[in-house]
Every structure is written in C-alpha cells, then in structure tokens.
Amino acid sequence: MKPRDRLRIAMQKSGRLTEPALELLNRCGLTFRQSRDKLFCFGEGEPVDLLLVRDDDIPGLIAQGVCDLGIVGRNVLSEFQLTAGTEAAPLAEWRKLGFGRCRLSLAVPQDLNYELPGQLEGMRIATSYPGLLGDWLARQGVKAGVVTLAGSVEIAPRLGTADLICDLVQSGGTLVANQLREADVLLESEAVLAGPAVLPTDERGDMIDLLLKRLDGVIQVRE
Ligand code: PRP
Ligand code: ZN
Ligand code: MG
C-alpha cells in the first residue's frame, strides 16, 4: 500500500454511533464536507478524512491499513481481536469515548430460569458475536452450541433455532419486544477509538498524536 499523506478515520455510516462520533470529531476541530450519501468525507481544515462504512467492517479496514483509526463499539473491536487470526495486524483500543454505552448479554425466554453459566451446558445460543461468546463459555468451562447469525438474533428462540441469545442490550426495548429477559452480562461496551497496536512513526503518527491530545481535552471537559 502506498503511503497516504492524509489521515483516514473509519466510522459507522448510519447507526447509533454516527451522530455522536461526528459531534466528537467536530469538537476536536475537525470539519468535513458533509456528503452522508457518500462513503468518503473530505476534511476541510486538517488533513483528516472520514470513511463511512458498516461498523463491523471497521476493525478489518484498520488491520488492512485502509484506514488509520476507527470509531467503533468495543464489542466489534473485541470480536475482531478474538476471531481475526494471527495473520491480521494487531489492533488496540486507544481511547474510550464515553458514548454508545451498551452491554453484550445473555438473554433467555421468560420461562427459562437462568442462575448459573453451568446450566447452559448443551444449550444452543444464537449470537452475532461467536468470538466473544465462545471466549466467555470457555472461561466458564461450559460447552454450548453457538449459532452464528448476522442479525435479528432476538427471534431465534421463537423460531426454535436456539434456546437463548447473546446480543447487545442498550435500552432493553428489543428484549422486551421479543419476550426475552437479560440473564448475564459478558461485556460492558461503549464507543472507542481503535487503531493499530503500534502507531505509525511518520507524519501520520504525528497527526494521530495531535488528535489524541485534542480528544483527551474534549473528553476531560465532558466528564
Ligand atoms: C443492537 C442489538 C439489538 C438492539 C438492542 O442492534 O442487536 O437489536 O441493538 O438495543 P435496545 O436494548 O435499545 O433495544 P443495533 O441497533 O446496534 O444494530 P445491528 O445489530 O444491526 O448492528
Ligand atoms: Zn452492526
Ligand atoms: Mg440488532
């Protein structure tokens, strides 16, 4: 890949993190020629551009060097770290950003009486996070079936394709609407600034340093 002289940050194209992520970057003094329908937003003042993509693609884009940084949920970053394999460039969480708080939880049908992870032995759990769920099950010493679904995980128990689910919970509205009850928390999540574990030492590294300093100022003011 040929070196770029502008920094490129990946963020969610449309979703819960989009608005607060843009607002945070604005507070850091970054403004963009807004073209929401486009995938690429050109930075006006500083040499920093945005790539608007699906959140699940953000860690991979950083690992491939297509983007230098990303604003993404810790859940998505951690899942990538657990499943990407050893060939992928290692990533790191550089800052937690204080918005998009949610948790990755087990949720069970109302009639399933969950008390301990051991009860899950032999059960089927539907999730979009097989890495995080598999890691948690292994740490609990529980052998359960993991049914991986890209979306609409909450419907799996009613369809009979799983006994329970492992999915993100924010307001809890989705669980209520699907007659599910939160039973255990696997991961507390929020939006984070993700990047390579080893930051570049060229001009882009200097720009990242500057951005981190500004972020720290903005995040401190907000706390
Ligand atoms: C998550 C999750 C649930 C919902 C939970 O999906 O998969 O569907 O949010 O939120 P609630 O507790 O406030 O109802 P999200 O909207 O992030 O979209 P995605 O699954 O397509 O990434
Ligand atoms: Zn997603
Ligand atoms: Mg969803």
Q: Kindly report the number of other CB atoms within 10 A of residue 40's CB atom.
A: 13
CATH C-level class of 102-189? alpha beta
Ordered by start, the domain boundaries in the chain are 7-100+190-222, 102-189
Q: Six-digit token pair at 138? A: 């292994």
The residue assigned the tokens 């599910």 is 180
Residues 6+ positions from 142 with CB-CB distance below 8 Å: 117, 118, 120, 121
With H, G, I as helix, E, B as strand and everything else as coil, classify residue 51: strand
What single string gives the DSSP state of each residue in 159-218?
HTS-SEEEEEESSSHHHHHTTEEEEEEEEEE-EEEEEESS--SSHHHHHHHHHHHHHHHH
Ligand nearest the Cα atom of residue 172 = 1
Please give the chain's pLDDT, 223 residues, in tens: 456 789 999 999 999 999 999 999 999 999 998 776 689 999 998 999 999 999 999 999 999 999 999 999 999 999 999 999 999 999 999 999 999 999 999 999 999 999 999 999 999 999 999 999 999 999 999 999 999 999 999 999 999 999 999 999 999 999 999 999 999 999 999 999 999 999 999 889 999 999 999 999 998 777 6
Q: Output the pLDDT for position 5.
A: 87
Compute the distance from residue 50 Cα to the ligand 3 centre, in Å.
24
Closest CA to 193 of 73, 16, 88, 13: 73
Is the ipTM here above 0.90? yes
Question: What is the distance in A from the centroid of ligand 1 to the CA of 36?
Answer: 22
What confidence tens digit (pLDDT) does each residue in 119-173 have? 999 999 999 999 999 999 999 999 999 999 999 999 999 999 999 999 999 999 9
Ligand 2 centre and the CA of 178: distance in Å?
19
Residues with CB under 6 Å of ligand 1 are 16, 151, 167-174
Per-residue confidence (pLDDT) for residue 220, from 0 to 100: 79
Give the pLDDT confidence score for residue 4 in this predicted structure.
78
Report CA 201 to chain centroid distance, whole Å.
Answer: 26
* Nearest residue by C-alpha to atom 1 in ligand 1: 168
Residue nearest ligand 1's atom 20 by CA: 151
Say which CATH topology domain 7-100+190-222 has: D-Maltodextrin-Binding Protein; domain 2 (3.40.190)
- List the alpha helices (DSSP H) in 36-183: 58-63, 74-83, 130-140, 156-159, 173-177
CB 211 within 8 A of CB 94: no
Same fold, 7-100+190-222 and 102-189: yes
Contact criterion met (CB below 8 Å) for 196 and 62? yes
* 120 token code pair: 């899950």
> Quick count: other Cβ atoms within 10 Å of Cβ 214?
17
Check if the beta carbon of residue 165 is closer than 8 Å to that of residue 72: no
